Structure 1
Amino acid sequence: MCNRYEEFLEEILIPEEALRQRVAELGAQISQDYKHSEKLVLLCILRGGVMFLTDLIRHLTVPHMVDFMAVSSYGAGSRQSTGQVRITLDLNTSIEDCDVLIVEDIIDSGRTLASVINLLSARKPRSLAVCTLLDKAERREVEVPLRYVGFTIPNKFVFGYGLDLDELYRNLPFIGVVNEEKYQQSRLKREC
Protein backbone atom coordinates (compact mmCIF):
# COMPACT_ATOMS: atom_id res chain seq x y z
CA MET A 1 0.00 0.00 0.00
CA CYS A 2 1.29 3.45 -0.92
CA ASN A 3 1.84 6.06 1.73
CA ARG A 4 -0.18 9.23 1.51
CA TYR A 5 1.81 12.23 0.38
CA GLU A 6 0.85 14.18 3.52
CA GLU A 7 3.31 12.00 5.47
CA PHE A 8 6.28 13.55 3.72
CA LEU A 9 4.95 16.89 2.45
CA GLU A 10 7.17 19.53 4.02
CA GLU A 11 5.34 22.52 2.55
CA ILE A 12 3.23 23.65 -0.36
CA LEU A 13 5.68 25.70 -2.39
CA ILE A 14 3.24 26.88 -5.08
CA PRO A 15 -0.48 26.66 -4.32
CA GLU A 16 -3.12 25.77 -6.89
CA GLU A 17 -4.40 29.32 -7.37
CA ALA A 18 -0.90 30.70 -8.03
CA LEU A 19 -0.34 27.96 -10.62
CA ARG A 20 -3.63 28.74 -12.34
CA GLN A 21 -2.91 32.45 -12.46
CA ARG A 22 0.65 32.08 -13.75
CA VAL A 23 -0.32 29.54 -16.43
CA ALA A 24 -3.01 31.96 -17.67
CA GLU A 25 -0.42 34.76 -17.81
CA LEU A 26 1.99 32.57 -19.76
CA GLY A 27 -0.78 31.59 -22.18
CA ALA A 28 -1.62 35.23 -22.81
CA GLN A 29 2.04 36.15 -23.38
CA ILE A 30 2.65 33.22 -25.73
CA SER A 31 -0.52 34.08 -27.67
CA GLN A 32 0.70 37.66 -28.07
CA ASP A 33 4.23 36.64 -29.07
CA TYR A 34 3.08 34.06 -31.64
CA LYS A 35 0.07 35.90 -33.07
CA HIS A 36 1.72 36.04 -36.50
CA SER A 37 3.06 32.48 -36.49
CA GLU A 38 1.89 30.35 -39.37
CA LYS A 39 2.97 27.03 -37.82
CA LEU A 40 3.29 26.91 -34.06
CA VAL A 41 4.15 23.52 -32.56
CA LEU A 42 4.03 23.03 -28.81
CA LEU A 43 6.41 20.21 -28.02
CA CYS A 44 5.71 18.68 -24.63
CA ILE A 45 8.47 16.75 -22.92
CA LEU A 46 6.83 13.72 -21.32
CA ARG A 47 5.69 12.87 -18.76
CA GLY A 48 6.01 15.69 -16.29
CA GLY A 49 5.01 18.43 -18.71
CA VAL A 50 1.60 17.01 -19.60
CA MET A 51 -0.46 18.70 -16.88
CA PHE A 52 1.24 22.04 -17.53
CA LEU A 53 0.72 21.70 -21.30
CA THR A 54 -2.94 20.78 -20.91
CA ASP A 55 -3.66 23.82 -18.77
CA LEU A 56 -1.48 26.11 -20.89
CA ILE A 57 -3.19 25.36 -24.21
CA ARG A 58 -6.55 26.26 -22.68
CA HIS A 59 -5.24 29.82 -22.50
CA LEU A 60 -3.80 30.04 -26.01
CA THR A 61 -5.72 32.10 -28.53
CA VAL A 62 -3.48 31.25 -31.50
CA PRO A 63 -3.66 28.16 -33.73
CA HIS A 64 -1.11 25.53 -32.72
CA MET A 65 -0.25 21.88 -33.03
CA VAL A 66 0.88 19.65 -30.18
CA ASP A 67 3.46 16.88 -30.26
CA PHE A 68 5.32 14.90 -27.65
CA MET A 69 8.82 13.72 -26.95
CA ALA A 70 10.09 11.50 -24.15
CA VAL A 71 13.69 11.79 -23.06
CA SER A 72 15.56 10.22 -20.21
CA SER A 73 18.78 11.15 -18.49
CA TYR A 74 18.03 9.73 -15.05
CA GLY A 75 18.81 6.28 -13.75
CA ALA A 76 15.99 4.25 -12.21
CA GLY A 77 14.91 5.81 -8.91
CA SER A 78 17.55 8.53 -9.16
CA ARG A 79 17.19 12.28 -8.74
CA GLN A 80 20.55 12.89 -10.43
CA SER A 81 20.95 13.12 -14.17
CA THR A 82 23.45 10.73 -15.72
CA GLY A 83 24.24 13.35 -18.34
CA GLN A 84 23.50 10.91 -21.16
CA VAL A 85 20.23 11.68 -22.86
CA ARG A 86 18.15 8.97 -24.51
CA ILE A 87 15.19 9.72 -26.76
CA THR A 88 12.55 7.16 -25.78
CA LEU A 89 9.76 8.71 -27.89
CA ASP A 90 10.41 10.96 -30.85
CA LEU A 91 8.14 13.46 -32.60
CA ASN A 92 5.49 12.42 -35.09
CA THR A 93 5.52 15.85 -36.74
CA SER A 94 8.15 17.46 -38.93
CA ILE A 95 9.20 20.74 -37.36
CA GLU A 96 11.04 22.13 -40.37
CA ASP A 97 10.05 25.81 -40.86
CA CYS A 98 7.83 25.71 -37.75
CA ASP A 99 7.92 27.88 -34.65
CA VAL A 100 8.61 25.32 -31.94
CA LEU A 101 7.93 25.96 -28.28
CA ILE A 102 9.31 23.28 -25.97
CA VAL A 103 7.04 22.88 -22.94
CA GLU A 104 8.83 21.48 -19.87
CA ASP A 105 7.83 20.89 -16.28
CA ILE A 106 11.17 21.73 -14.63
CA ILE A 107 14.69 22.71 -15.65
CA ASP A 108 17.50 22.09 -13.21
CA SER A 109 20.99 21.17 -14.50
CA GLY A 110 20.03 22.11 -18.08
CA ARG A 111 21.91 19.16 -19.57
CA THR A 112 18.85 17.29 -20.83
CA LEU A 113 17.27 20.40 -22.31
CA ALA A 114 20.53 21.44 -24.00
CA SER A 115 20.68 18.04 -25.70
CA VAL A 116 17.06 18.31 -26.82
CA ILE A 117 17.65 21.81 -28.20
CA ASN A 118 20.70 20.59 -30.16
CA LEU A 119 18.72 17.68 -31.59
CA LEU A 120 15.76 19.83 -32.58
CA SER A 121 17.91 22.61 -34.04
CA ALA A 122 19.26 20.14 -36.59
CA ARG A 123 15.67 19.64 -37.82
CA LYS A 124 15.59 23.25 -39.07
CA PRO A 125 12.70 24.85 -37.21
CA ARG A 126 11.90 28.47 -38.05
CA SER A 127 12.34 29.30 -34.35
CA LEU A 128 12.93 27.31 -31.19
CA ALA A 129 12.07 28.53 -27.70
CA VAL A 130 11.49 27.06 -24.25
CA CYS A 131 8.61 27.46 -21.80
CA THR A 132 9.16 25.86 -18.41
CA LEU A 133 6.85 25.84 -15.45
CA LEU A 134 9.70 25.63 -12.93
CA ASP A 135 13.27 26.89 -13.15
CA LYS A 136 15.66 25.56 -10.53
CA ALA A 137 18.32 28.09 -11.60
CA GLU A 138 20.78 27.48 -8.77
CA ARG A 139 21.31 23.90 -10.02
CA ARG A 140 22.19 25.02 -13.55
CA GLU A 141 25.29 23.36 -14.99
CA VAL A 142 24.62 24.16 -18.67
CA GLU A 143 23.12 27.49 -19.68
CA VAL A 144 19.96 27.11 -21.73
CA PRO A 145 17.78 29.87 -23.18
CA LEU A 146 14.46 30.03 -21.33
CA ARG A 147 11.95 32.35 -22.98
CA TYR A 148 9.06 31.72 -20.60
CA VAL A 149 9.40 30.78 -16.94
CA GLY A 150 6.46 30.13 -14.64
CA PHE A 151 8.36 30.19 -11.35
CA THR A 152 11.98 30.25 -10.27
CA ILE A 153 12.26 27.90 -7.30
CA PRO A 154 14.94 27.02 -4.75
CA ASN A 155 16.91 23.78 -4.92
CA LYS A 156 14.30 21.63 -3.22
CA PHE A 157 12.89 18.21 -4.08
CA VAL A 158 9.42 19.00 -5.47
CA PHE A 159 6.42 17.01 -6.66
CA GLY A 160 2.84 17.51 -7.78
CA TYR A 161 1.20 19.22 -10.76
CA GLY A 162 2.76 16.76 -13.20
CA LEU A 163 5.99 16.12 -11.32
CA ASP A 164 6.14 12.64 -9.87
CA LEU A 165 7.46 11.12 -6.69
CA ASP A 166 8.29 7.51 -7.59
CA GLU A 167 5.76 7.83 -10.45
CA LEU A 168 3.01 8.89 -8.02
CA TYR A 169 1.27 12.16 -7.12
CA ARG A 170 1.44 13.82 -10.56
CA ASN A 171 -2.26 14.61 -10.12
CA LEU A 172 -1.84 16.98 -7.16
CA PRO A 173 -3.06 20.50 -7.97
CA PHE A 174 -0.08 22.19 -6.26
CA ILE A 175 3.72 21.98 -6.16
CA GLY A 176 4.87 20.51 -2.87
CA VAL A 177 8.28 20.11 -1.26
CA VAL A 178 9.32 16.67 -0.04
CA ASN A 179 10.61 16.28 3.50
CA GLU A 180 13.39 13.96 2.43
CA GLU A 181 14.04 12.47 5.86
CA LYS A 182 10.39 11.46 6.33
CA TYR A 183 10.23 10.27 2.74
CA GLN A 184 13.26 8.00 3.20
CA GLN A 185 11.76 6.60 6.40
CA SER A 186 8.51 5.78 4.57
CA ARG A 187 10.48 4.07 1.79
CA LEU A 188 12.32 1.92 4.33
CA LYS A 189 9.01 0.90 5.91
CA ARG A 190 7.65 -0.14 2.52
CA GLU A 191 10.74 -2.27 1.81
CA CYS A 192 10.45 -4.21 5.08
Structure 2
Amino acid sequence: MYEFKAEDDKVYGPVDEATILAWAKSGRIDGNSLLSKTPGGEWTPLNRIVELSHICRQAAESPVPTTPPAIPAAPAPVPAGQPVKPGKLQAISIMTLVGGIIGVLVGLTYGCYFGMLTLATLGIGVFLMILPVYALIFGIMAIIRGSQMLGANPMPAFKSAKGIAIMQIVNIICCDLINMVLGIINLVFLNDPEVKDYLHSQGVEI
Protein backbone atom coordinates (compact mmCIF):
# COMPACT_ATOMS: atom_id res chain seq x y z
CA MET A 1 0.00 0.00 0.00
CA TYR A 2 1.16 3.52 -0.75
CA GLU A 3 0.42 7.09 0.21
CA PHE A 4 0.46 10.00 -2.23
CA LYS A 5 1.58 13.55 -1.36
CA ALA A 6 -0.02 16.24 -3.51
CA GLU A 7 1.59 19.56 -4.44
CA ASP A 8 -0.22 21.25 -1.56
CA ASP A 9 1.41 18.70 0.82
CA LYS A 10 -1.87 16.94 1.48
CA VAL A 11 -1.46 13.18 1.87
CA TYR A 12 -3.90 10.72 0.29
CA GLY A 13 -4.08 7.02 0.98
CA PRO A 14 -3.09 4.43 1.70
CA VAL A 15 -4.06 3.07 -1.73
CA ASP A 16 -3.15 0.02 -3.74
CA GLU A 17 -1.31 -0.23 -7.07
CA ALA A 18 -4.56 -0.38 -9.04
CA THR A 19 -5.63 2.97 -7.65
CA ILE A 20 -2.22 4.48 -8.38
CA LEU A 21 -2.46 3.21 -11.96
CA ALA A 22 -5.93 4.74 -12.33
CA TRP A 23 -4.64 8.06 -10.97
CA ALA A 24 -1.72 7.97 -13.40
CA LYS A 25 -4.00 7.26 -16.37
CA SER A 26 -6.33 10.10 -15.39
CA GLY A 27 -3.42 12.52 -15.04
CA ARG A 28 -3.83 13.05 -11.32
CA ILE A 29 -0.27 11.87 -10.74
CA ASP A 30 2.79 11.49 -12.97
CA GLY A 31 6.32 10.15 -12.73
CA ASN A 32 7.42 13.03 -10.50
CA SER A 33 4.62 12.61 -7.98
CA LEU A 34 5.81 11.66 -4.50
CA LEU A 35 4.69 8.34 -3.05
CA SER A 36 5.59 6.56 0.14
CA LYS A 37 5.27 2.88 0.92
CA THR A 38 3.35 2.32 4.13
CA PRO A 39 4.17 2.13 6.84
CA GLY A 40 7.13 4.47 7.32
CA GLY A 41 8.49 4.63 3.78
CA GLU A 42 10.34 7.62 2.35
CA TRP A 43 8.76 10.00 -0.12
CA THR A 44 10.04 9.00 -3.54
CA PRO A 45 9.07 10.04 -7.08
CA LEU A 46 6.87 7.44 -8.72
CA ASN A 47 9.30 6.84 -11.59
CA ARG A 48 12.04 5.88 -9.08
CA ILE A 49 10.04 3.22 -7.27
CA VAL A 50 11.14 -0.03 -8.90
CA GLU A 51 8.03 -2.05 -8.07
CA LEU A 52 5.83 0.71 -9.53
CA SER A 53 7.91 1.50 -12.62
CA HIS A 54 5.42 -0.30 -14.84
CA ILE A 55 2.66 2.12 -13.85
CA CYS A 56 4.12 5.10 -15.72
CA ARG A 57 4.59 2.92 -18.80
CA GLN A 58 1.06 1.52 -18.68
CA ALA A 59 -0.44 4.95 -18.06
CA ALA A 60 1.34 6.32 -21.13
CA GLU A 61 0.18 3.39 -23.28
CA SER A 62 -3.49 3.44 -22.27
CA PRO A 63 -4.57 6.74 -20.73
CA VAL A 64 -8.11 7.03 -19.48
CA PRO A 65 -10.03 9.01 -22.07
CA THR A 66 -11.20 12.30 -20.72
CA THR A 67 -14.66 13.54 -21.44
CA PRO A 68 -14.51 16.62 -23.66
CA PRO A 69 -16.12 19.67 -22.16
CA ALA A 70 -19.73 20.02 -23.08
CA ILE A 71 -20.37 22.64 -25.69
CA PRO A 72 -23.13 24.91 -24.46
CA ALA A 73 -26.16 24.91 -26.66
CA ALA A 74 -26.69 27.99 -28.71
CA PRO A 75 -29.28 30.24 -27.12
CA ALA A 76 -32.66 30.11 -28.72
CA PRO A 77 -33.33 33.10 -30.92
CA VAL A 78 -35.31 35.75 -29.13
CA PRO A 79 -38.54 36.41 -30.98
CA ALA A 80 -38.96 39.94 -32.16
CA GLY A 81 -41.09 41.83 -29.69
CA GLN A 82 -43.81 44.29 -30.35
CA PRO A 83 -42.57 47.73 -31.44
CA VAL A 84 -42.23 50.20 -28.61
CA LYS A 85 -45.05 52.72 -28.44
CA PRO A 86 -43.62 56.21 -29.03
CA GLY A 87 -44.16 58.72 -26.26
CA LYS A 88 -45.43 61.22 -28.84
CA LEU A 89 -48.63 59.20 -29.16
CA GLN A 90 -49.36 59.86 -25.50
CA ALA A 91 -48.70 63.56 -26.09
CA ILE A 92 -51.08 63.58 -29.07
CA SER A 93 -53.78 61.94 -26.98
CA ILE A 94 -53.44 64.46 -24.16
CA MET A 95 -53.29 67.48 -26.47
CA THR A 96 -56.39 66.24 -28.31
CA LEU A 97 -58.33 65.82 -25.08
CA VAL A 98 -57.19 69.17 -23.66
CA GLY A 99 -57.92 70.87 -26.99
CA GLY A 100 -61.43 69.43 -26.95
CA ILE A 101 -62.12 70.78 -23.48
CA ILE A 102 -60.84 74.21 -24.51
CA GLY A 103 -62.93 74.04 -27.69
CA VAL A 104 -66.11 73.39 -25.70
CA LEU A 105 -65.34 76.28 -23.34
CA VAL A 106 -64.64 78.58 -26.29
CA GLY A 107 -67.86 77.45 -27.99
CA LEU A 108 -69.94 78.10 -24.88
CA THR A 109 -68.33 81.49 -24.32
CA TYR A 110 -68.81 82.63 -27.89
CA GLY A 111 -72.27 81.08 -27.98
CA CYS A 112 -73.39 83.25 -25.07
CA TYR A 113 -71.75 86.33 -26.55
CA PHE A 114 -73.17 85.90 -30.06
CA GLY A 115 -76.53 84.87 -28.64
CA MET A 116 -76.82 88.17 -26.81
CA LEU A 117 -75.53 89.97 -29.91
CA THR A 118 -78.23 88.31 -32.00
CA LEU A 119 -80.91 89.44 -29.58
CA ALA A 120 -79.49 92.94 -29.45
CA THR A 121 -79.46 93.21 -33.25
CA LEU A 122 -82.90 91.64 -33.65
CA GLY A 123 -81.47 88.56 -35.33
CA ILE A 124 -78.98 90.23 -37.62
CA GLY A 125 -76.02 88.60 -35.85
CA VAL A 126 -77.45 85.09 -36.03
CA PHE A 127 -75.08 84.13 -38.84
CA LEU A 128 -72.19 84.54 -36.39
CA MET A 129 -73.55 81.63 -34.35
CA ILE A 130 -71.84 79.28 -36.79
CA LEU A 131 -68.54 80.04 -35.03
CA PRO A 132 -69.47 78.78 -31.54
CA VAL A 133 -71.39 75.88 -33.08
CA TYR A 134 -68.24 74.80 -34.91
CA ALA A 135 -66.19 75.15 -31.72
CA LEU A 136 -68.68 73.02 -29.78
CA ILE A 137 -68.81 70.31 -32.45
CA PHE A 138 -65.02 70.21 -32.66
CA GLY A 139 -64.66 70.25 -28.87
CA ILE A 140 -67.04 67.34 -28.34
CA MET A 141 -65.38 65.28 -31.09
CA ALA A 142 -61.90 65.99 -29.70
CA ILE A 143 -62.93 65.03 -26.16
CA ILE A 144 -64.37 61.74 -27.42
CA ARG A 145 -61.34 60.92 -29.57
CA GLY A 146 -58.84 62.03 -26.92
CA SER A 147 -60.54 59.84 -24.32
CA GLN A 148 -60.46 56.89 -26.70
CA MET A 149 -56.77 57.48 -27.46
CA LEU A 150 -56.05 57.26 -23.75
CA GLY A 151 -58.24 54.17 -23.34
CA ALA A 152 -57.58 50.45 -23.54
CA ASN A 153 -58.07 50.24 -27.33
CA PRO A 154 -56.65 53.51 -28.68
CA MET A 155 -55.70 52.54 -32.24
CA PRO A 156 -59.10 53.08 -33.93
CA ALA A 157 -59.23 56.63 -32.54
CA PHE A 158 -55.88 57.50 -34.10
CA LYS A 159 -57.37 56.97 -37.57
CA SER A 160 -59.07 60.36 -37.20
CA ALA A 161 -56.21 62.04 -35.30
CA LYS A 162 -55.07 64.08 -38.30
CA GLY A 163 -58.60 65.32 -38.99
CA ILE A 164 -59.04 66.39 -35.37
CA ALA A 165 -55.68 68.20 -35.49
CA ILE A 166 -56.82 70.14 -38.57
CA MET A 167 -60.06 71.05 -36.80
CA GLN A 168 -57.99 72.34 -33.88
CA ILE A 169 -56.13 74.67 -36.22
CA VAL A 170 -59.33 75.82 -37.93
CA ASN A 171 -60.78 76.76 -34.55
CA ILE A 172 -58.64 79.90 -34.81
CA ILE A 173 -61.80 81.40 -36.35
CA CYS A 174 -62.97 81.63 -32.74
CA CYS A 175 -59.66 83.26 -31.74
CA ASP A 176 -58.62 79.93 -30.18
CA LEU A 177 -54.85 80.35 -30.31
CA ILE A 178 -54.22 77.47 -27.92
CA ASN A 179 -55.91 74.91 -30.15
CA MET A 180 -54.14 76.28 -33.19
CA VAL A 181 -50.78 75.64 -31.52
CA LEU A 182 -51.85 72.21 -30.24
CA GLY A 183 -53.15 71.26 -33.68
CA ILE A 184 -49.88 72.21 -35.36
CA ILE A 185 -47.88 70.21 -32.82
CA ASN A 186 -50.18 67.21 -33.29
CA LEU A 187 -49.71 67.32 -37.06
CA VAL A 188 -45.94 67.49 -36.64
CA PHE A 189 -45.99 64.51 -34.26
CA LEU A 190 -48.30 62.52 -36.54
CA ASN A 191 -45.86 62.99 -39.42
CA ASP A 192 -42.93 61.81 -37.34
CA PRO A 193 -41.49 58.63 -38.98
CA GLU A 194 -41.37 56.75 -35.67
CA VAL A 195 -45.03 57.52 -34.99
CA LYS A 196 -46.10 56.64 -38.53
CA ASP A 197 -44.17 53.35 -38.46
CA TYR A 198 -45.73 52.37 -35.14
CA LEU A 199 -49.26 53.22 -36.26
CA HIS A 200 -48.67 51.34 -39.51
CA SER A 201 -47.53 48.28 -37.53
CA GLN A 202 -50.84 48.47 -35.65
CA GLY A 203 -52.84 48.66 -38.88
CA VAL A 204 -53.56 52.39 -38.66
CA GLU A 205 -53.06 54.56 -41.74
CA ILE A 206 -53.18 58.31 -41.28
TM-score, normalization: structure 1? 0.29
More helix per residue: 2
More strand per residue: 1
TM-score, normalization: structure 2? 0.27
Of structures 1 and 2, the one scoring higher in RCO (CA 8 A, sep 6+) is 1
